[in-house]
Amino acid sequence: MEIVMKYLPLLIPIVVLELALTIVALVHMLKHKKFKFGNLTLWVILAFVQIVGPILYFTIGKADDDE
């Protein structure tokens, strides 16, 4: 328990960032149904894969809004 308390100030911002990215990615996925590749089910599942899922969505999965 002492180790958790020691690293808690570092963990809280990481958890908040992860939750914020996941929520923003999910909202964007539900509003915009176009993706560069894959489908909605794939990206929703990947959105819950730690912090990597939402970052992957915004970098390679999200279709350009101009199309």
**How does pLDDT run across 30-55, given as a tens digit for each residue?**
998 888 888 899 999 999 998 899 99
Tell me what the pLDDT averaged over the chain comes to: 89
Cα dist from 24 to 6, 7, 37, 56, whole Å: 30, 26, 19, 13
pTM for this entry: 0.80
Burial environment of residue 13 by CB neighbours within 10 A (0 to 12, 13 to 18, 19 or more): exposed
Q: How far apart are CA 22 and CA 67, in angstroms?
A: 24
Residue boundaries of the structural domains of the chain = 11-61
